Structure 1
Amino acid sequence: MVDSFDLAVVGSGIVGLAHALAAARRGLRVVVIDRDRQANGASIRNFGLVVVTGQEPGASRRQAERTRRIWLELANEAGIEILQRGKLIAAQRPEALAVLEAFKAGEHGADCKLLTARGTIEQLGGLNGKAIIGGLFSPFELRVESREVLPRLTSFLAERFGVVFRTGISVTDVAPPVVETSAGRLRAEKVVICPGDDFSTLYPLRIGKQGVQRCKLQMLRLAYPGFRLSSALMSDLSLLRYGGFAGLPEAGALRSKLGEQNASALANGVHLIVVQSADGSLVVGDSHHYGLALDPFGSEAVDRLILDEFKTLFGKVPEVVARWTGSYASARNAVLRDAPHADARLVIVTSGTGASTGFALGEETITELFG
C-alpha cells in the first residue's frame, strides 16, 4: 500500500521545516523527506540570528518581520529558547556612522536607536571604547541556537501535528501525485522541494538557468570571554552585506573607505557578527567565497581577518575552540521560486537568510498551492 499525504516536503533544513509548519497549521497531512539522517547543512552552520533591520526594503523586509513573529510564537509553543534579542551595529568610521544616520532617518529606522560612542559602549559589555564612534541599536533581532533548534522544531512538528519524517531517503523523481524515492513510491497531492545547495539531484537545468552558485563561509567559536552579550553585534563591514544599508547612497563612501583600509576583508567577503551561546561561548564570523564547486577547507588567513575585526572591537580574542565551514545557495535575487509542475514548487533561499525569512516564505508557498 502506498502512503498518501496532502503535502510532501523534500528537504528538512529550516526552509523545508517552514513549509511543513505552514501546511501542518492548516491541518494538512505532511511528510518531510531528507537524504540525511539529521540536519547537517547551512541551517545549523550559522549564527541562528533572525535579522530584520537591514533586510532589503520590500519583500525581504516584510518576510523577515513575519518570520520573526512566527519565531516568537514557536518560542512559546515549542519551547524554543531566545538567547538574545536585538542587534547593535558598532561604527568605527565616520562613513559607517553616516550610513546608520541615513538608515535611522528612513522608512525602517524609526524604532531603532542611534547611539553616541558612550551609548554604544554602554549598550553592550566588553567593547573596546577606543575603536567606536557611535552605533545603532535595533530591537527586532532574535538569536536561537541553530544546532539545537532544528531537532527541537522537528520533534515539535511530529508530536504536535503528526508530521511524518522520512530520513536517509533520496527523492529521485517528482510527478505529483507521485513521488519516487530510494525507499519506494509515495503519493502527495502537492510537493515542495527545498534542496538547499544541492543543485544536481532534482531540476538541475531549471536551477542552472537561474545562475545559482554556492557560497562558502567560515565561522569560529570562541571561549567564554568573561562577559555576557545582551544582543548580537555587527560592525562596519556588515553594513555592506545587507541591502537595507548597502542600498543607501551613503554606503558608497563607506565602501571606498573600507577598500582603502580593509581591502583583504572586502575581497574575502568578511564581515563581523558576534552572538553568544548559553554556555557563554561566542559564535563569530563570517566570510563569503562564491563558485559552483568550492573546496571544503577553511583558510587560516581568512579566519585571521575575522578575528582581527573582532579584536578591533573587543580589544582581545578569546581562545578559538571550534572552526567550521558552511555552504549555501547564492544568486542575485534573494529567493529562487519556481513551478516545475502545477502542483510542485521549487524554493531555494539564495541570500543566506533562511532563518530570517523562511517561515514567511513557507506560508506564501502553501497559500499558493492550497489557496
Structure 2
Amino acid sequence: MERSFDLAIVGAGIVGLAHALAAARRGLKVVVIDRDAQANGASIRNFGFITVTGQQAGETWRRAKRSRDVWAEIAPKAGIAIAHAGLCTTSRRPEATAVLEAFLRTEMGEGCELVIGNALGERFPFLAGQQAALWSPHDLRVESREAIPLLAAHLERDWGVTILRKTTVRGVALPVIETSNGVLRADAAIICPGDDFTGLYADALKAAYPALTRCKLQMLRVRTASTGPDLPCAVMSDLSLVRYLGYAELPEAAALRARLEREQPEQLANGIHLITVASADGTRVVGDSHHYAATPDPFGDTKVDDLILDEYEAVFGARPLVETRWLGTYASLPDRAMLREWVADRVGLVIVTSGTGASTSFAIGEETIAEMFG
C-alpha cells in the first residue's frame, strides 16, 4: 500500500531536518527521505558551532539568532548536550582590535564586550599574547556527529516524522514521489540536496545559478596537554575578521586585510581562518580552509593543515597533537548565503550556500514552511 504524507523532504541533513521540525510543529504528516544509511555529509563534518556573532548583517544574522534559540529549546528534549556557549574573537594586531571596536558599535554587538590588557589574561588565561578579545554570549556549540542523529531520533520519536534511509528519490511528480523502495504520495515536497547538484531539478538549478560550486574544507581534531573540557567557549582570531562577513564588511576591516596580505598571504590564499571548539573528551576541533571546485579532489594537504596549526599556535601559544583529520564539502555561491527556489507547483528546493547550515537552518525551515503552507 502506498503511504501518503502532507510533505516529503528529500535530504536528512540539518537543512532537511530543520524543515521537518518546522512542518511537524504545524501538525503536518512528514516523511524525510535520504539515500545514506546515516548522516554522513556536511552536517556532521563541521564544528557544531551555532554561530551568531560575525554572521553577515541582515537576514543571515537574524536567521542565526532565531536558529540559536531553536537549538537551545530542542537540545534538552532531544538529549543533545550543549558543549559550551559563547565566543572569544581574539585580536593580536591593532587593526584587528579596531574591527572589533567597530563591530561593538553595530546592533550585532549588543550584549558583547571588548576585553583588553590585564583583564584579558585574568578572564581568558588560555589566550596567549593576544591584544584583545571580543566576548559574545550569543553562540552555542554541539557535537555535530552526535547531535544530528539525536535530532533525527527526536523528530521520529516525539514528532511522528517518518525517516526513510538508504532510499533514493528518482522523481517527483506530485502527488507521486518515486523512490528506489517504491512509491510514496505527498501533497508537497522540499528538496534539500546539500552539495549534490546533479540530481533532482539539476537543469533548473544550473540555469538559475551558474556560479554554484562546492567548497572543500580541511578539519582537525587535536588534543592538548590538559584533560577534560578545557575551553569554556569557541575561539576565533584575526583571520576570521576578514572572512566572516559581519566583521569583514565593516570599513575598518580593509586595513586589517591589507596587513594580513603582507604578513599571512598563504593563509589568505588557502581560505584559512581559525575556529577552535572544545569537546567533552578534552579534544578540540580546529579548522579550517576553503578551496572551491565543481568536483573537489578527495585529498588533504598537510601544508594546509600546518598553516591552520600555525594560526592556532599564534593564538594559544603551543602546537597540539593532531588525532584526526578529515575533509568536508558544502555548496557555495559567492553572492548569497542560501537559495530557495520553487521549481514546480508546491515543490521547493533549498540549499545553504555559505557553510552556515548549522547556524541558520532552523530559521530557514520556518520561513519555507510558512511560505508553502501559509
> Which TM class, normalised by the smaller chain length?
over 0.9
1:48-67 aligned at under 5 Å gives the runs 48-67=48-67
Q: Secondary structure at the match of 2:43?
A: coil
Q: Contact 1:225/1:281 (CA < 8 Å) preserved in 2?
A: no
Match of 1:161 among 154, 159, 162: 159
Is 1:319 aligned to residue 321 of structure 2? yes
Cα offset for 1:223?
1.3
- Residue identity over aligned pairs, in percent, reads 56
Partner residue of 1:240?
242
- Once residues 112 and 365 of structure 1 are traced to their aligned partners in structure 2, the CA distance between those partners, rounded to angstroms, is 31
Partner residue of 2:280?
278
1:97-112 aligned at under 5 Å gives the runs 97-112=97-112
1:46-105 CA-partner distances (Å, limit 9, x unpaired): 000001111111111111111011001012322211111000011011111000000011
Partner residue of 2:141?
143
Cα offset for 1:214?
0.2
TM-score if structure 2 supplies the norm length?
0.97
Q: Secondary structure at the match of 2:187?
A: strand
Cα offset for 1:366?
0.6
Partner residue of 1:349?
352
Cα offset for 1:207?
2.1
1:118-197 aligned at under 5 Å gives the runs 118-128=118-128, 130=129, 132-197=130-195
Partner residue of 2:369?
366
Tell me which moved more, 169-178 or 139-148.
169-178
Q: Secondary structure at the match of 2:369?
A: helix
- Once residues 91 and 46 of structure 1 are traced to their aligned partners in structure 2, the CA distance between those partners, rounded to angstroms, is 24
Tell me which moved more, 12-21 or 202-211.
202-211
Partner residue of 1:307?
309
Q: Contact 1:70/1:359 (CA < 8 Å) preserved in 2?
A: yes
Unmatched tracts of structure 1, length 5 or more: none
Cα offset for 1:124?
2.9
Unmatched tracts of structure 2, length 5 or more: none
Cα offset for 1:120?
2.9
- Once residues 104 and 176 of structure 1 are traced to their aligned partners in structure 2, the CA distance between those partners, rounded to angstroms, is 49
What letter is aligned with 1:157?
Answer: L
1:5-29 CA-partner distances (Å, limit 9, x unpaired): 0011100000100000011111111
TM-score if structure 1 supplies the norm length?
0.98
Q: Structure 1 stretches (4+) deviating beyond 4 angstroms? A: none
Cα offset for 1:202?
1.1
Q: Contact 1:45/1:146 (CA < 8 Å) preserved in 2?
A: yes
- Once residues 361 and 123 of structure 1 are traced to their aligned partners in structure 2, the CA distance between those partners, rounded to angstroms, is 36
1:226-273 CA-partner distances (Å, limit 9, x unpaired): 161110000000111211101100011111100000000000000000
Match of 1:292 among 271, 279, 294: 294
Q: Secondary structure at the match of 1:152?
A: helix
1:319-362 CA-partner distances (Å, limit 9, x unpaired): 10000000000002100110001201100000000010000000
Cα offset for 1:221?
0.4
Cα offset for 1:184?
1.5
1:94-122 CA-partner distances (Å, limit 9, x unpaired): 11100000001122212101110333333
- Once residues 256 and 140 of structure 1 are traced to their aligned partners in structure 2, the CA distance between those partners, rounded to angstroms, is 29
